[in-house]
Amino acid sequence: MSIFRSRKAGGKKVSCLLSALACCLFCLSLPALADSPLHRGKPAKYVFLFVGDGLGIPHRQAPEAFLAAMEGKAYGDVKMTMNTFPAQGVTTTYANDRFIIGSAASATALASGFTTNIGFIGMDPNLKPVRSIAQMAKERGMKVGIVSSVSIDHATPAAFYAHQPHRSMYHEIAHDLADSGFDYFGGGGLRDPEGTRSKAPRGDALEKARRNGYTIATDRRSFEKAKPGQKLIAWNANLPDGKALPYAMDATKEDISLAEFTRKGIELLNNSRGFFMMVEGGKIDWASHANDAAATIHDTLAFDAAIDEALAFAKKHPKDTLIVVTGDHECGGMTIGFAGTKYESAHEILKNQKISFQRFEDMLADYRKSHQGKASFEDMIPLVEANFGLKFDGTGPMGLKDYEIRSLREAFVHSMAGLREKGKGESYLLYGDYDPFSIKVTHILNQKAGIAWTSYSHTGAPVITSAMGVGEEVFNGYYHQSDLGKKLLSTMGFSPRYADAAPETGEIRQAAAAGF
C-alpha cells in the first residue's frame, strides 16, 4: 500500500510513482546501512586498544557520578578521559553460538574481526586459527605490547597472540606467548607455565620465553630497570588472586599500577616503525561478577588513568596515533538506580568502603578457619563498620534497618558453614558463588548508594566504543564487535584473514605507501 495519498483525480498515478521511487531509494541505501564503514586513508602508526573487561555503559557513568558527589560538583561536570573522545559508537556483543558472550569469543572478534564460539581463542567457529591485529602488526615490523590487570594468559590478552580451542588451556596459551615474538607483556602473571594442569605438558613456558630472548621481571625494581631494545615479560610481585594485580582499592605503593605498565609499554615500544598495544582493565569484570560497586569504580578509574598515558603520547604524535576504548561485554547487569532509593542517589556513600570484596572474603576465610564451632555474628560488627561504614545502631544514612541486619545474620550463617552453590538454587540467586556474608554487605552498601545489579554473570547489553585520532570517524555508529575488529584492522591497513593466509595485495601496497 502506498504511503502517499492524493485527493486529486490524477494523484493516484503520481503517488504510485513516488512510492516506487521511495522503495528504490530505500533498497539502494541498504548496503550502506549494512556495511559498517572502514578506514581508507593513511594507516595509523601508533595504535592503542583499551579493553575494559565487563565495561558496560553504567560502568562508564558510575565513576563520574561518584567523583562528582565526592567533589561536590554537579553531575556531568566530571568526565573520565574515555568519555571525552570525539567518536562514540554503540557496540553489540553476541557470540556465534550464544547471545550473552564470554571474553574469549569477544576478544577474538576484537582482535581479528571474526565472530566465533564461546571459549575459542584466536579461532573461528570451525576451529580454524585466525590472525590477530597484533600478529599482523608484528609481521609488518612494528613492535607489539600486551598489558592486562589480570593474568596475561587470560582470555582477552590471549586472543591477541594465541590459538587454542578453549580459554582454560593456560599452559598451551603460555607457550603461544613464549613463541609470539611480541616485544612486551605486562601486568598479571601466568597461571600454568609448567603444565601442572595440562593433559599434555610441553615443559616450562617461562624457560622457553627466556630462550627466545625475553627478560622476566617479577618486581618493581627489575621492571623499572627495563630499557628499550629488551623483550620484556613483567608482572607485579603481589598477585593475590588468579595471578592478577590487586584490585585498585587494595593496591599499595609497592604495587605496579595499570597506568605504570602502560607507560613502560610506550617507553619500550616507541620506535620509527610504529607499534600496537592492547591494554585490558580485566578486574573491572571480576569486581562486577561479585557485584562490588566500589571495587568496580576504582578499577575503572585505574583503567582510565592508563588511557591518560596513551593520551599524553597522542598529544605528541597527533597525526599518527589512534586510541580506541571499548568494553568486551557488560558484566553484572549494573544499573544506576535501586527500588529502595527510588529517584534518589547517594554515590558518595561508596567512599565508606575501604577494601574490595576479595580482601573481605580473605578476612572471612581466616576468621572461619580460626573460629570453627565458635563463630559469632557480633565479631563481624566492628569489622563491617570499619571497612564498609555500615552502622548497626540504625542511625544516619549508613544505619542498617532491622530487615538488613536479619539478612546479614542469615548470610553469616551460610558463610561460616562454607555454603556456596554453583549456578543453581536459592542460595546462588542470593549470593552467587561468592562468600554470602561478603556479598550481602556489598549489596546493602551498593543499594544505599543507589546502585543495583541483576546478575553474577555477563549480560547481553551493548557497550560504548570511543575513539580519537587517525580514522576516529569510522568508530561512530551502531555495530557488532566483529565490525569493531574490522574497523580497527582497517585503521592499520589490514583486513581480516586466517593465520595461514598471506597479506592481501592491497594491504602490502597501503603499507608501502605509508612507509612501513
- Residues annotated in the binding site, as ranges? 53, 154, 156, 280, 285, 289, 328-329, 458
Tell me how far apart the alpha carbons of residues 138 and 248 are, in angstroms, rounded to a whole number: 31
Tell me how far apart the alpha carbons of residues 343 and 338 are, in angstroms, rounded to a whole number: 8
Tell me which DSSP letter residue 77 carries. S
Residue 32 burial (CB < 10 Å; 0-12/13-18/19+)? exposed
Distance spanning both ends of the chain, measured CA to CA: 56
| Set 103, 148, 151, 438: catalytic member | 103
Residue 103 is a catalytic residue: yes
Provide the β-strand partners of residue 463.
91
- Find all residues with CB under 8 Å of 459, minimum gap 6, and list them: 56, 100, 329, 330, 331, 332, 333
Q: Which residues are annotated as a binding site for Zn(2+)?
A: 53, 285, 289, 328-329, 458
Tell me how far apart the alpha carbons of residues 421 and 377 are, in angstroms, rounded to a whole number: 22
Q: Which residues are annotated as a binding site for Mg(2+)?
A: 53, 154, 156, 280
Query: Is the four-CA dihedral 501, 277, 307, 280 of positive or negative sign?
Result: positive
Q: Which residue has the cell 630472548?
A: 213
The SS3 call for residue 286 is helix
Tell me how far apart the alpha carbons of residues 516 and 511 are, in angstroms, rounded to a whole number: 5
Between the alpha carbon of residue 258 and those of residues 36, 37, 52, 177, the distances in Å are: 32, 32, 12, 20
The SS3 call for residue 180 is coil
- Find all residues with CB under 8 Å of 96, minimum gap 6, and list them: 105, 115, 116, 117, 125
Tell me how far apart the alpha carbons of residues 243 and 246 are, in angstroms, rounded to a whole number: 9
Q: Are strands 321-327 and 463-469 parallel, antiparallel or unpaired?
A: antiparallel
- Find all residues with CB under 8 Å of 272, minimum gap 6, and list them: none
What are the residue ranges of helices labelled H in 245-292?
Answer: 258-269, 283-289
Between the alpha carbon of residue 391 and those of residues 128, 326, 397, 445, 449, the distances in Å are: 57, 38, 9, 11, 15
Residue 207's CB is within 10 A of a number of other CB atoms, namely 13
Query: Residue 63 corresponds to which cell in the numbers above?
Result: 565513576
Catalytic annotation, residues? 103
